[in-house]
Amino acid sequence: MTDASQYTIQHEPFYQATGREVELYQAAYRSRLPVMVKDPTGCGKSRFVEHMAWKLGKPLITVACNEDMTASDLVGRYLLEANGTRWLDGPLTTAARIGAICYLDEIVEARQDTTVVIHPLTDHRRTLPLDKKGELVNAHPDFQLVISYNPGYQSLMKDLKQSTKQRFVAFDFDYPAADVESTILQQEANVDAAMADKLVKIAHTARNLKGHGLDEGISTRLLVYAANLMRDGIAAGDACRMALVSPITDDADIRSTLNHAIDAIFG
């Protein structure tokens, strides 16, 4: 039996609530409802899930989904060894057995024929069939499934089926309010309020360009990166261009707009 303690978060992950999401998540967990977290990239959905696992005192198993992930990567497979074969549980099966929160990060990246394996775990059955092993795993009473989903990346080829979406309760996250985001930067990057406020102003400039040449605005994560560089002695302009401009666009006009904003805000 897998030791659940290896998946337990020992120290409280910092998370700044922006509404009633903590209270609402706790209610979802009490009912063991599967949860879907939606937000623009880099807005703290993974940190939120980590914080809630810590707050609830439950182990957390995280899976970074990708287009090459198969159902066997989630549920498990037989391994060939010198003395024969041995079954190895996948992360989803392990979580179901030990009563962990299983977090499938960016599930839209996974193939649709892979994500259907989660369906029996997200309704009244709370079971996981291991067809290759001939076993039906009944989920531990503490098990909960959480997925994250970035609607900004959806397309005809990459979107969740309605049959999957409607198995979850959902949280819609967005960029924090300016004062909240400034507080996050001060905490996460250990910078003063003045520097944090200036970085947030740059982020708002970029976010106003979303849909007008930018697919995504500057995330809170990138603001933390820029603040870390500045705290390490990198000039504000260089840090911002490195962390806030170059990663998000190659468009010359948009880069020029953001560079002007950086020069105006930091002088």
Per-residue pLDDT tens over the stretch 131-145: 999 999 999 999 999
Q: Residue 223 sits in which domain range?
A: 178-266
At 111, which amino acid appears?
A: R
Secondary-structure percent of the chain, ordered helix, strand, coil, rounded to 5 = 45, 15, 35
- Is 156 found in the same domain as 30? yes
Q: What is the pLDDT of residues 41-54, one digit of tens each?
A: 888 899 999 999 99
Residue 124 has pLDDT above 60, yes or no: yes
Residues 147 and 204 in one domain: no
Looking at the structure of the chain, the number of domains it has is 2
Two structure tokens written together for 262: 């950086």
Model confidence at 156: pLDDT above 50: no
Q: What is the mean pLDDT of residues 17-44?
A: 93
What sign for the dihedral angle of Cα 238, 240, 243, 249?
negative
Say whether both 142 and 193 belong to one domain.
no
- Yes or no: say if 92 and 143 are a contact pair by the CB < 8 Å rule: no
Backbone dihedral region for residue 57 (phi beyond 0: left; psi -120 to 50: alpha; all else: beta)? left
- Hey, CA dihedral for 163, 21, 58, 78, is it positive or negative? positive
From 120, 145, 172, give the residue that closes a domain. Answer: 172
Helix, strand or coil for residue 69? coil
Q: What is the pLDDT of residue 211?
A: 79
